[in-house]
Amino acid sequence: MKKVLVTGGAGFLGSHLCDRLLQDGHDVLCVDNYFTGTKANIAHLRGHPRFEAMRHDVTFPLYVEVDEIYNLACPASPVHYQFDPVQTTKTSVHGAINMLGLARRLGARILQASTSEVYGDPEVHPQTESYWGRVNPIGVRSCYDEGKRCAETLFFDYWRQHRLQIKVVRIFNTYGPRMYERDGRVVSNFIVQALRGEDITIYGDGSQTRSFCYVDDLIEAMVRMMATDDGFTGPVNVGNPSEFTMLELAQKVVALTGSRSQLVFKPLPSDDPRQRQPDISLARQALKGWEPTIALDDGLTRTIDYFRTVLATDR
């Protein structure tokens, strides 16, 4: 049994990670400031003898005793991270500094939840970990993209300078239950609009692509990454290499929900990547044969069922 800290633990990914760590027999300390995370995501864990929740903002130092740290704290959808871009950058950078400092003091292993956004609007397809990316440093998405890139820099500098045990995963588009219905991400947008019978909004002509990984597959990769040998740091791409256009995704959602929603097209937002697909060769090799197992149709069906319940409760 280990004592494990999960920052951003009440968020979409964080709450699923807390579930998995408890299932594996660990003590879990969930830290969140509830900017995008919600108490509802962890309500089912209240009263669990090995679970503790703490309201805390990672831009301030944290003094606790743990064996491992998963650093997931940061708003991940454009709607949220552009709401307060300065705070978003501070969360990525100051949060990384504080968690790395804690890990160094404790001698703890620490995993950084980085992002495919470090690749920006890529010129290389699919993206490999050796690609340095093509990111606009002064655009509307830069608070998130550059914040995460700087966090990776800090992690590797702590590894080189202090020999800290670090693990870095670059997360590609992930979806599933507990996504926030108004977070602006494409899967939740399409599903909510379809279930409400509203027009489904596609930005651009719908030809831009993404690769969608179901949350359970993503969490499995993170847990395996934390368990790799001390000398392996990553970064490692984690995501589903199956690539779909936005138009294909919208059509799938309409078919699976039985919706009569119409597709409407609007201008592409600034700096929105045209292509996004992970090369997961390294993950397959380093994470004991890990690869996604849940097909998009199956994952979408589970996510649609979740949102049906959420929207019914909202009424």
Q: Which of 144, 158, 175, 180 is flagged as catalytic?
A: 144
SS3 category, 241? coil
> Which are the contacts of 272, defined by CB distance < 8 A and separation ≥ 6?
121, 203, 204, 208
CA distance 2 to 72: 18
CA distance 308 to 183: 16
Measured from the Cβ of residue 41, the count of other Cβ atoms closer than 10 Å reads 24
Are the C-beta atoms of residues 2 and 29 closer than 8 Å to each other? Answer: no
SS3 category, 52? strand
Beta-bridge partners for 175: 214
Helices (H), 57-214: 78-81, 85-106, 142-162, 186-196
CA distance 191 to 272: 20
Are the C-beta atoms of residues 222 and 113 closer than 8 Å to each other? Answer: yes
SS3 category, 153? helix
Q: Is residue 144 annotated as a catalytic residue, yes or no? A: yes
Residue numbers annotated as active site: 144
